[in-house]
Amino acid sequence: MDHAADALRTDLMTITRYVLNEQSKHPESRGDFTILLSHIVLGCKFVCSSVNKAGLAKLIGLAGETNVQGEEQKKLDVLSNDVFVKALVSSGRTCILVSEEDEEATFVEPALRGRYCVVFDPLDGSSNIDCGVSIGTIFGVYMVKDFTEPTLDQALQPGKNMVAAGYCMYGSSCTLVLSTGSGVNGFTLDPSLGEFILTHPDIKIPKKGKIYSVNEGNAKNWDGPTAKYVENCKFPKEGSSPKSLRYIGSMVADVHRTLLYGGIFLYPADKKSPSGKLRVLYEVFPMSFLMEQAGGQAFTGKERALDLLPKKIHERSPIFLGSYDDVEEIKALYAAEAKN
């Protein structure tokens, strides 16, 4: 790689330029989605800045409240939620917002309503903030048919109806991964420009990977197919090499690695959490959307993840997502158990 030439590159594909290029392919579009996305990007930049100086700004630690999931809220959780709610409402392009941090959906006041519903986890993996592990924002975007009188049902759509999904990871670099339904692209924040630059064009997940990612601390509560799959990862029968275990405990970081390197990310249901742990609308759906767009799969143990129809905004589900062949293996184990 010629770093000197790279440093002098002047033809930069910023995220705004990329989205405007995509917009020009749809003559009927009015730029609403471009405006909405620019507000999401602004929210990501703001949170990235806050995460980077969290220790200095006394943003580390607990805010003294618990959120709707019964989890203790970090100060950064509360701040990030406020940032995204304000950014999305002020865009004038949203009518319903569903956040992990808010018990009820937010209905935007009529004067500022637009035709999009945005579901988001403002700061996923925030229990890792204090020890400096990568965390992130996850979001999904739906189009709403009647935005003049929006109802909660319009937020409770299956994931396959999403028009866009993505996440922004705050780690050694700030990376925004986005799909608008025609492939997956990764953008990295250049702090000197304050712009997200296209660094990972057209991400494709390898068909089969060498890594599995799961919280083995829950192993005693797993069902048969999950336990069998993990055993096969460790002790493969046909003489192939065992898979490596990599588990960060921050969904954005684990999924990002899986997307780039291949393999499988598992968060199964177990005896302790029979409905699974991850939330359908703003964790399972956006990540499943990205995986499928990159050529992978996402499975709940019963069906394709994007076919789920949530009944509540904070509903949970098991999830297995990653490389196509790896997810096929877990599907085969569940199918075999169903037969028996």
User: In whole angstroms, what is the distance from residue 144 CA to residue 151 CA?
Assistant: 10
Look at the pTM and tell me if it is higher than 0.85.
yes
Buried b / exposed e over 256-281, threshold 16 CB at 10 Å, is bbbbbbbbbbbbbbbeeeeebbbbbb
Secondary structure element (H or E) that encloses residue 118, with its range: strand 113-124
Task: Please give the order of strands across the beta sheet that includes 113-124.
Answer: 106-107, 94-99, 113-124, 135-143, 164-170, 174-179, 185-190, 195-200
Question: For position 208, what pLDDT does the model report?
Answer: 97
C-beta neighbour count of 231 within 10 angstroms: 12
User: In whole angstroms, what is the distance from residue 265 CA to residue 263 CA?
Assistant: 7
CA atoms within 13 A on the CB side of 257: 21
Q: Which of the 8 DSSP states describes residue 270?
A: B
Kindly provide the residue ranges of all beta strands, DSSP E only, lying in 144-273, ordered along the sequence: 164-170, 174-179, 185-190, 195-200, 211-213, 244-245, 264-267
Question: For position 59, what pLDDT does the model report?
Answer: 64
Q: Which of the 8 DSSP states describes residue 29?
A: -
User: In whole angstroms, what is the distance from residue 17 CA to residue 6 CA?
Assistant: 19
How do residues 244-271 score in pLDDT, each as one tens digit? 999 999 999 999 999 999 999 999 999 9
Closest CA to 276 of 298, 243, 244: 298
In Å, how far are 34, 71, 93, 252, 305 from 125, measured between CA atoms? 28, 12, 28, 8, 21
Kindly provide the residue ranges of all beta strands, DSSP E only, lying in 263-323, ordered along the sequence: 264-267, 278-279, 297-299, 316-317, 319-322
- The stretches in the chain having pLDDT less than 50 are 1
Residue type, 53: K
Question: For position 50, what pLDDT does the model report?
Answer: 87
- What's the token pair of residue 26? 């749809």
Q: Which of the 8 DSSP states describes residue 284?
A: I
Question: For position 119, what pLDDT does the model report?
Answer: 98
